[in-house]
């Protein structure tokens, strides 16, 4: 017997960079998911098959041995090793696991790929050892794996991947989760340019230290957009959401975190009828998002592709992490 777990990716609607200082970030789970299938081993190795991501290998005594792909990829896979070990430690069991990782979420572009895989791993290993983990436990144990990749993550990504829906996060405040009664379609444009969230946060901090009288006002404005935007989201006021997205993108550009590639996709989406378009995540590459009425979604997708972006249509997802037991012959 094996256990399959899946978890959603995410996108940030409002609040990038301001959330580092003050004001909420509004984060949405999307219907692109990561899938992990876990099975037991006779030894204590953690074997990870992530071939669709370009690498695989195993951990023995926390030492990584590459079987395909570059050995330095072990840093990415070590989050799954840590999550697996933390689950077994939490449950008071010992053993090894095989993990087969498949993901519909592009890596390192701000869509929560690492968190979704980490959450799915935690849930799968927990179910494999009959742990009956609560979602709160899954989120907390996954966070230990996320630390390996991001150092001091906020905890937003692993919580959204665990619980799904809409999440409001503000420093020093508990997470707030919401469900949306009606679907809202978005188009994601991926520049395919990977970036470092940490480096971008550091660059904004440096700019703020040099120009506090200007940057503080930008930070406050982005925080205000998040608060107004959450209300517009609940009212499904697409025009208001779009206006706020456009303003938000301008403010993020003023902080220096947009790029020519991101701007090209943002303006291409607007030309094709998007009510609003902005970068999502830390910037410096990665993705932008656009919201529009249904009749314009296909045109926006084509506009993004004409400008060398990867187009991904998504809906919001209220479904967080899920698990199921499968027979060896099941796919």
Q: What is the pLDDT of residue 320?
A: 96
Same domain, 79 and 171: yes
pLDDT tens profile 143-170: 998 888 777 777 889 999 999 999 999 9
β pairing state of 96-103 and 46-50: parallel
Q: Which band of pLDDT confidence, cut at 50, 70 and 90, is reported for residue 330?
A: low
Torsion angle, CA of 127/30/188/171, rounded to 10 degrees?
A: -100
66 - beta bridge partners?
Answer: 57
Q: How many domains, in total, are found in the chain?
A: 2
**Residue 329 forms part of a structural domain:** no
Q: Which band of pLDDT confidence, cut at 50, 70 and 90, is reported for residue 120?
A: very high
pLDDT tens profile 238-247: 999 999 999 9
Same domain, 297 and 232: yes
Bigger pLDDT: 122 vs 201: 122
CATH number reported for the structural domain that contains residue 41 in this entry: 3.30.230.10
Same domain, 157 and 229: no
Q: What is the pLDDT of residue 225?
A: 98
pLDDT at 233 over 60: yes
**Residue 130 forms part of a structural domain:** yes
Same domain, 25 and 174: yes
Instruction: Tell me the Cα Rg of the chain.
Output: 20
Comparing CA positions, the residue from 224, 232, 274, 266 lying closest to residue 249 is 266
Query: What percent of the chain stands above pLDDT 70?
Result: 98
CA distance 165 to 211: 37
pLDDT tens profile 5-31: 999 999 999 999 999 899 899 999 999
pLDDT tens profile 173-188: 999 999 887 888 899 9
CA distance 277 to 246: 6
**Residue 39 forms part of a structural domain:** yes
What is the sign, positive or negative, of the torsion defined by CA atoms of 257, 267, 9, 327?
negative
Q: Residue 191 in contact with residue 265, Cβ under 8 Å?
A: yes
Angle, alpha carbons 117-121-123 (nearest 5°):
120
Q: What is the pLDDT of residue 277?
A: 98
Q: Which band of pLDDT confidence, cut at 50, 70 and 90, is reported for residue 205?
A: very high
CA distance 305 to 303: 5
Same domain, 167 and 39: yes
Using the 3D structure, point to which of 163, 179, 195 is the last residue of a domain: 179
Domain that holds residue 234: 185-315
**Residue 327 forms part of a structural domain:** no
Q: What is the pLDDT of residue 251?
A: 98
Comparing CA positions, the residue from 83, 82, 91 lying closest to residue 62 is 82
Angle, alpha carbons 287-154-266 (nearest 5°):
15
Q: Which band of pLDDT confidence, cut at 50, 70 and 90, is reported for residue 329?
A: low
Same domain, 167 and 254: no
Q: Which band of pLDDT confidence, cut at 50, 70 and 90, is reported for residue 198?
A: confident
**Residue 311 forms part of a structural domain:** yes
What mean pLDDT comes out for the span 91-104?
96
Same domain, 272 and 287: yes
Same domain, 162 and 197: no
The one catalytic residue among 43, 49, 157, 294: 157
Q: What is the pLDDT of residue 7?
A: 98
- Residues whose CB falls within 8 Å of the CB of residue 114, separated by 6 or more in sequence, listed in order: 76, 79, 107, 146, 149, 150, 157
Same domain, 274 and 165: no
Using the 3D structure, point to which of 179, 212, 236 is the last residue of a domain: 179
**Residue 264 forms part of a structural domain:** yes
What mean pLDDT comes out for the span 86-113?
94
CA distance 44 to 96: 4
Query: What percent of the chain stands above pLDDT 90?
Result: 80
CATH number reported for the structural domain that contains residue 194 in this entry: 3.30.70.890
Comparing CA positions, the residue from 136, 104, 143 lying closest to residue 121 is 143
- Give the other-Cβ count within 10 Å of 53's Cβ: 18
**Residue 325 forms part of a structural domain:** no
**Residue 274 forms part of a structural domain:** yes
Same domain, 40 and 144: yes
Same domain, 40 and 137: yes
Q: Residue 109 in contact with residue 194, Cβ under 8 Å?
A: yes
Same domain, 170 and 204: no
> Known catalytic residue: 157?
yes
37 - beta bridge partners?
Answer: 4, 100
Query: What's the whole-number average pLDDT of the chain?
Result: 93
pLDDT tens profile 255-311: 999 999 999 999 999 999 999 999 999 999 999 999 999 999 999 999 999 999 999
- DSSP E strand boundaries for 182-307: 185-190, 276-280, 287-291
Q: What is the pLDDT of residue 97?
A: 98
């Amino acid at each position: 017997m094996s256990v399959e777990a899946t978890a959603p990716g995410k996108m940030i609607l409002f609040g990038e960079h301001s959330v580092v200082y003050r004001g909420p970030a509004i984060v949405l789970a999307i219907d692109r998911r990561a899938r992990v299938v876990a099975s037991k081993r006779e030894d204590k190795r953690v074997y990870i098959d992530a071939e669709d991501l370009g690498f695989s290998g195993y951990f023995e005594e926390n030492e990584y041995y590459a079987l395909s792909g570059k050995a330095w990829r072990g840093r990415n896979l070590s989050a799954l090793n840590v999550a697996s070990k933390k689950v077994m430690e939490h449950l008071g069991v010992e053993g090894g696991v095989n993990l087969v990782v498949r993901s519909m979420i592009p890596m390192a572009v701000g869509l929560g790929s690492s968190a979704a895989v980490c959450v799915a791993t935690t849930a799968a290993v927990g179910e494999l050892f009959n742990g009956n983990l609560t979602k709160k436990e899954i989120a907390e144990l996954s966070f230990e794996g996320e630390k390996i990749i991001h150092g001091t993550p906020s905890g937003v990504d692993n919580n959204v991947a665990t619980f799904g829906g809409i999440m409001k996060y503000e420093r020093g405040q508990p997470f707030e989760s919401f469900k949306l009664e009606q679907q809202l379609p978005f188009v994601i444009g991926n520049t395919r340019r990977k970036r470092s969230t940490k480096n971008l946060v550091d660059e904004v901090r440096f700019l703020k230290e040099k120009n506090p009288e200007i940057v503080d006002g930008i930070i406050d404005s982005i925080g205000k957009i998040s608060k107004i935007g959450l209300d517009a989201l609940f009212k499904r006021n697409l025009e208001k959401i779009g206006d706020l997205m456009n303003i938000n993108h301008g403010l993020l550009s003023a902080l220096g975190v947009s790029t020519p590639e991101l701007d090209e996709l943002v303006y291409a989406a607007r030309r094709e009828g998007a009510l609003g378009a902005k970068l999502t995540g830390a910037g410096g590459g990665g993705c932008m998002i656009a919201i529009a009425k249904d009749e314009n979604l296909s045109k926006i997708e084509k506009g993004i592709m004409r400008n060398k972006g990867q187009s991904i249509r998504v809906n919001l997802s209220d479904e967080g992490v899920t698990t199921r037991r499968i027979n060896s012959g099941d796919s």
